[in-house]
Structure 1
Amino acid sequence: MNDGRSVLVLTNPYDVTADVVLRLLAERRVPVVRLDPGADLHTGALLTATYRSGSQQGTLRTASRELDTAQVRSVWVRRPSPYEGPTGLSDQDRRFAAEQALWGAGGILASLPGAHYVNHPWNNRAAEFKPAQLATARRCGFLVPSTVITNDPREAREFAARERGGVVYKPLRNAPYRVDGQPHSVWVRDVRGVEITDAVSVCPHMFQATVDKEFDARVTAVGDRLFGVRIDSPDLDWRRRQDLMTCMPVEVPGPVARAVAVYRAELRLTYGAFDFAVTAAGDWYFLECNPNGQWAWQPTETTAAIAHALADQLEKGSGT
């Protein structure tokens, strides 16, 4: 299967999760070029694309490699740094350079002819919107907790009053947030109606009926291969104190597996990290799907299996 074409990995230099897969590709003698376009393109890397009637050509030069971008086998969009522009410029010039890099370099790297994307960056972005996730999950046959997304405080309070089993608040995106100058995470938390103030009107907020769960589950999808783990945690949001949670492999029920396949097809995802709340009766409630979620924190055997599945996807490219 090794035809000499390279795998292009777009990620930051501190991404140790990517290293797990890159070691497997090296063992298989698959050529790999690693690039962090948001940083490398203003510290020496050079990217050129040429478009003519009937042809498209391009070259990427890094400190150690030169790549014909028309010969890229696969592109793994992992965790590249944001496009922020080079330091040393005025704020206005830096913002301008960052925008040009995003729309220029970002556009080139998202349009490589014949490359297999895991996942395509535009599909990643579309699939990150939680309202789109919930709408898609409902159409695909998942159980979905009752949810309201609103900037109307009255609607939010009425929703909380109707849900006798309780309501949780979830941020619509994990955006950077600081308290007293220190990074602060906004976790999923229980909310009572009396806590919902007119501050909701500042921006849309997401409130969801509490699922009386027995445990959480993560299903990592790599193509048609699914890897399920059960997560037991003392916290409502298991991400908050991962040192206190326990994980073990769990079988993914057939209806859930079929819904995952339909969901991936609708949003054109090769990879997806699906989170569920599972009740004592065995009902799996869809919570979200991170199209680029982390996976190397799972049990050793699951992590290894996911790494091999990703390496398989990248090695085969689009021609198989």
Structure 2
Amino acid sequence: MSDNRSVLVLTNPYDVTADVVLRLLAERRVPVVRLDPGADLHADASLTVTYDTDEQRGTLRTASRELDTTRIRSVWVRRPSPYEGPPGLNDQDRRFAAEQALWGTRGILASLPGASYLNHPWNNRAAEFKPAQLSTARRCGFLVPDTVITNDPHEARKFATHQPGGVVYKPLWNTLYRVDDRPHSVWVREVHAAEITDAVSVCPHMFQAKVDKAFDVRVTAVGGRVFGVRIDSPDLDWRHRQDLMTCTPVEVPEPIARATVAYLAELRLTYGAFDLAATTAGDWYFLECNPNGQWAWQPAETTAAVAHAIADQLEKGPDT
């Protein structure tokens, strides 16, 4: 292979999804460096970058590799650990070290010259805001359920009253939550106007017209390639009891494929995991897009196709 530049994969050591793609890259003899910057750089790895008027130079050293950061073709921002600082320090010093790593190390790894990103971390973060997702989806041609985001209980109740098919509540972010000191997930659920109390005033809440869906759809997009899976579940939120759902590959209609590619382009993403709801009339409604969503849980043929598409993107590197 004439191009010996490396692919840098930023993820934790337990990320088995990344392993699927790394095996493909190894078969293609593409050099790969795997790094969990929040943990490795206060263990057995180091990162040094220098800047001057003429150039930027850098070296990443791990237990097994030394990498010239100007020779990185692609960066896959998968699931790196949080920047928490090294153990053994007091709380204040550990917090200081963690924040310096976040703003220093993360800043370096997000500004590598000549590298392409899947996805760039800044773009990932911007694309995680649900209001931005809904606004972008509308512009790109998706059908979007009637939605209100408000901290006004009166407006929330009024919205719910005027939706003949019912209303669901969705959290705007999957915040870690505990009940009786046990982890608790806040699932999408149907609500009625009478249930909406003045507690809504504490923070913004998202209410959305319930889609009379025949089934759910996950569309996984990598660059200009889209892969659809139909999800049949007894639950309103299929994530709740995934052992009860069934998944089968489904063809993505051309208008949905075009809207998906346009969405990625507008938010400067290479990858996106789109959740949609399909009605009995054949309409597909946009619900949300996770710019770094999991994909290896899908049927084997879909998982393999997505893995190859990601490997292709990482191997290709920046457009020239």
TM-score range, shorter chain: over 0.9
How do residues 17-166 of structure 1 correspond to structure 2 at under 5 angstroms?
17-166=17-166
The CA deviation at 1:219 is: 0.5
Gaps of 5+ in 1: none
Q: Secondary structure at the match of 1:83?
A: coil
Q: Is the 8 A contact 1:169 1:191 kept in 2?
A: yes
Paired position in structure 1 for 2:176:
176
- What do the CA deviations read for 1:179-209 (whole angstroms, capped 9, x no partner)? 1111111110111111111111111111100
Q: Which one-letter code corresponds to 2:273 in the other structure? A: A
Q: Which residue of 2 aligns with 1:239?
A: 239
Equivalent-residue separation in structure 2 for 1:90 and 1:150 (angstroms): 40
Q: How many residues align?
A: 320
Deviation at 1:90, TM superposition (A): 2.1
Q: Is the 8 A contact 1:11 1:78 kept in 2?
A: yes
Task: Name the residue aligned to 2:298.
Answer: 298
Equivalence for 1:167: 167
Question: Aligned partners of 2:173, 2:93: CA distance in 1, in Å?
Answer: 28
**Secondary structure at the counterpart of residue 29 of structure 1:** coil
In the other structure, the counterpart of 1:211 is 211
Kept after mapping to 2: 8 A contact 1:233/1:246:
yes
Give the Cα–Cα distance (whole angstroms) in 2 for the partners of residues 92 and 170 of structure 1.
36
Partner Cα distance (2:180, 2:95) in 1: 26
Counterpart position of 1:315: 315
RMSD: 0.9
Write the deviation string for residues 205-238 of structure 1: whole angstroms up to 9, x where unpaired: 1110000000000100011110001000000000
CA distance in 2 between counterparts of 1:97 and 1:158 reads 48
Cα distance in 2 between the residues matched to 1:139 and 1:169:
23
CA positional deviation for 1:164: 1.4
Runs of 4+ in 1 over 6 A off after TM superposition: none
Identity %: 82
Distance 1:39 1:179 in 2: 29
**Gap runs ≥5 in structure 2:** none
Alignment-mate amino acid for residue 87 of structure 1 = P
In 1, Cα distance between equivalents of 2:2 and 2:236 = 46
Q: Using structure 2 for the length normalisation, give the TM-score.
A: 0.98
Q: Give the letter for the 1:18 counterpart.
A: A
- In structure 1, the partner of 2:266 is 266
Residue 155 of structure 2 aligns to which amino acid in structure 1? E
Distance 2:242 2:2 in 1: 39
How many Å apart are 1:141 and its aligned residue?
Answer: 1.0
Give CA-to-partner distance per residue, 1:39-87, whole Å, 9 cap, x none: 1111121011110111000011111111100000100000011111112
Measure, in 2, the Cα distance between the counterparts of 1:319 and 1:131: 30
C-alpha distance in 1, partners of 2:278/2:268? 26
Q: Distance in 2 between matches of 1:86 and 1:210?
A: 46
TM-score (norm 1): 0.98
Q: How far, CA to CA, are the matches of 2:49 and 2:150 in structure 1?
A: 43
Q: Secondary structure at the match of 2:207?
A: strand
Shift, 1:115, TM fit: 0.4
Range moving further from structure 2, 93-102 or 75-84: 93-102
Check the 8 A contact 1:149/1:207 in 2, yes or no: yes
Within 1, Cα distance between the matches of 2:48 and 2:305? 36
Say whether 1:5 aligns with 2:5: yes
